């Protein structure tokens, strides 16, 4: 059957991307946080053989694509993967699939990144799925300042932090300091033998925890650094880190406020980084910390927005 541009556009909005030069499509499966169960993988293997060309492709943003799906098989494909709780999507001018590093199991991870990514998926990928934004909005969740998943190159990025505290009263000015030796940032200095942490160098990675046998080093609970307005691609912008650290609940609120801010103040076709630049980082930070955007949520959601994403 001949496909019209409308047919192609309609299924693209559902996560079916036309395979170049053919009338077949890649079905984009959303993994929520980059994790699939063995049963889900088995389901995809079967779906690739039943509906696709037998191949399974992994994308750079932790979705899975099955190429070679025929237009007329799309409803049956969706029904098949839904048996294991999976869905297609991840396109258009809206919140895109969330990307997480493997901080849940990684030795450097400061918290359960995949659990936080699932929560963001539930609240802001699913919760805002019907909400059109001026462009796509990418979110990444990283477990520590190693930044493997590059949170600062996303429209919004979250990085786990644990703030060390050195008690100079307890410090014994040891000849060899385990805290100093373990710090990859060389943030620990000695003042007359006593260890001190330079907060302008420390990145809150937590690698020094447990390295003082005399209990001079303690640390905060896990906190979250939020970067706004990052992007990588045709244009590049490193996300601006907000000055203060947030608890997890506060960070989730900042995600929602950032989406509302983008919807309300963004211009069609501009990425969040351009909105941040236009308004000024300082002003944006104030708006993301205050509660006005959440108070105006219903009103903002009713405003008309024309999306500008072409992919
Ligand atoms: S960012 Fe940190 S926690 Fe996440 S995978 Fe990299 S090293 Fe591990
Ligand atoms: S921080 Fe701990 S290990 Fe380092 S010098 Fe002080 S007491 Fe010794
Ligand atoms: S938290 Fe990381 S950067 Fe800061 S002092 Fe400890 S090891 Fe160094």
Examine the domain organization and report whether 115 and 188 are in the same domain. no
Q: Are residues 264 and 303 in contact, defined by beta-carbon separation less than 8 angstroms? A: yes
Predicted pLDDT at 310? 72
pLDDT tier, 108 (very low <50, low <70, confident <90, very high otherwise): very high
Model confidence pLDDT, tens digit, residues 51-73: 999 999 999 999 999 999 999 99
Residue to mutate (ligand 1; options 110, 114, 115, 142; most atoms within 8 A of CB): 142
| Number of Cβ atoms within 10 Å of the Cβ of 150 | 17
DSSP structure class, residue 218: E
Ligand 1, atom 6: closest residue by C-alpha: 148
Examine the domain organization and report whether 148 and 58 are in the same domain. no
Ligand 3, atom 7: closest residue by C-alpha: 183
17, β-bridge pairs: 26
Examine the domain organization and report whether 239 and 110 are in the same domain. yes
Give the burial string for 263-302 (b: 16+ CB within 10 Å, else e). bbbbeeebbbbbbbeeeeeeebbebbeeeebeeeeeebee
Distance separating alpha carbons of residues 46 and 208, to the nearest angstrom: 47
Examine the domain organization and report whether 122 and 156 are in the same domain. yes
Q: Average pLDDT, stretch 154-175?
A: 96
- With 80 as the cut, is the pLDDT of residue 1 above it? no
DSSP structure class, residue 211: -
> What are the distances in angstroms from CA 212 to CA 180, 206, 217, 239?
9, 13, 6, 34
**Does residue 311 belong to any structural domain of this protein?**
no
56 Cβ below 6 A of ligand 1 = no
**Does residue 93 belong to any structural domain of this protein?**
no
pLDDT tier, 311 (very low <50, low <70, confident <90, very high otherwise): low
- With 90 as the cut, is the pLDDT of residue 2 above it? no
Examine the domain organization and report whether 148 and 174 are in the same domain. no
Distance separating alpha carbons of residues 64 and 23, to the nearest angstrom: 20
Examine the domain organization and report whether 152 and 246 are in the same domain. yes
- With 90 as the cut, is the pLDDT of residue 110 above it? yes
Q: What are 121's two structure tokens? A: 């998926």
Closest listed ligand to the CA of 193: 2
Number of domains present in the structure of the chain: 3
Predicted pLDDT at 208? 97
Q: Are residues 230 and 155 in contact, defined by beta-carbon separation less than 8 angstroms? A: yes
Examine the domain organization and report whether 295 and 215 are in the same domain. no
Q: What are 51's two structure tokens? A: 């509906």
Residue to mutate (ligand 3; options 179, 182, 208; most atoms within 8 A of CB): 208
- With 90 as the cut, is the pLDDT of residue 123 above it? yes
Picking from 74, 57, 75, the residue whose alpha carbon sits closest to that of residue 66 is 57
Examine the domain organization and report whether 122 and 168 are in the same domain. no
108 Cβ below 6 A of ligand 1 = yes
Q: Are residues 143 and 108 in contact, defined by beta-carbon separation less than 8 angstroms? A: yes
Examine the domain organization and report whether 151 and 228 are in the same domain. yes
Examine the domain organization and report whether 139 and 284 are in the same domain. yes
Closest listed ligand to the CA of 177: 2
Examine the domain organization and report whether 157 and 227 are in the same domain. yes
Domain encompassing residue 198: 163-219
Helix (H, G, I), strand (E, B) or coil at 72: helix
Q: How far is the CA of 161 from the centre of ligand 1 (A)?
A: 12
Q: Average pLDDT, stretch 108-125?
A: 98
194 Cβ below 6 A of ligand 1 = no
Distance separating alpha carbons of residues 276 and 230, to the nearest angstrom: 10
Domain-terminating residue out of 204, 219, 234: 219
Picking from 9, 7, 51, 2, the residue whose alpha carbon sits closest to that of residue 29 is 51
């Amino acid at each position: 059957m001949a496909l019209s541009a409308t047919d192609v556009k309609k299924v693209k909005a559902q996560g079916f991307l036309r395979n170049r030069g053919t009338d077949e499509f890649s079905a984009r499966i959303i993994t929520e946080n980059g994790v699939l169960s063995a049963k889900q993988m088995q389901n995809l293997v079967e779906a690739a053989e039943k509906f696709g060309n037998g191949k399974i492709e992994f994308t750079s943003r932790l979705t899975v694509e099955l190429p070679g799906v025929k237009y007329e098989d799309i409803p049956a494909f969706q029904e098949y993967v839904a048996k294991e709780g999976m869905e297609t999507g991840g396109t258009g001018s809206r919140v895109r699939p969330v990307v997480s590093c493997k901080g849940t199991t990684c030795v450097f991870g400061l918290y359960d990144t995949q659990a936080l990514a699932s929560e963001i998926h539930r609240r802001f990928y699913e919760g805002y799925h019907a909400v059109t934004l001026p462009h796509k909005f990418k979110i990444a969740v990283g477990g520590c300042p190693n930044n493997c998943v590059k949170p600062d190159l996303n429209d919004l990025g979250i990085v786990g932090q644990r703030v060390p505290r050195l008690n100079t009263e307890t410090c014994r000015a040891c000849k060899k300091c385990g805290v100093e030796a373990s710090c990859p940032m060389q943030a620990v200095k000695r003042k007359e033998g006593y260890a001190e942490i330079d907060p302008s160098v420390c990145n809150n990675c937590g690698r020094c925890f447990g390295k003082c046998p005399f209990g001079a080093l303690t640390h905060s609970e896990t906190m979250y650094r939020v970067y706004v307005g990052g992007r990588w691609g045709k244009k590049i912008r490193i996300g601006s880190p907000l000055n203060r650290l947030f608890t997890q609940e506060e960070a989730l609120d900042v995600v929602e406020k950032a989406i509302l801010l983008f919807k309300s103040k963004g211009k069609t076709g501009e990425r969040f980084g351009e909105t941040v630049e236009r308004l000024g980082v300082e002003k944006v930070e104030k708006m993301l910390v205050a509660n006005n955007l959440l108070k105006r949520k219903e009103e903002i959601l009713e405003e008309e927005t024309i999306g500008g994403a072409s992919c």
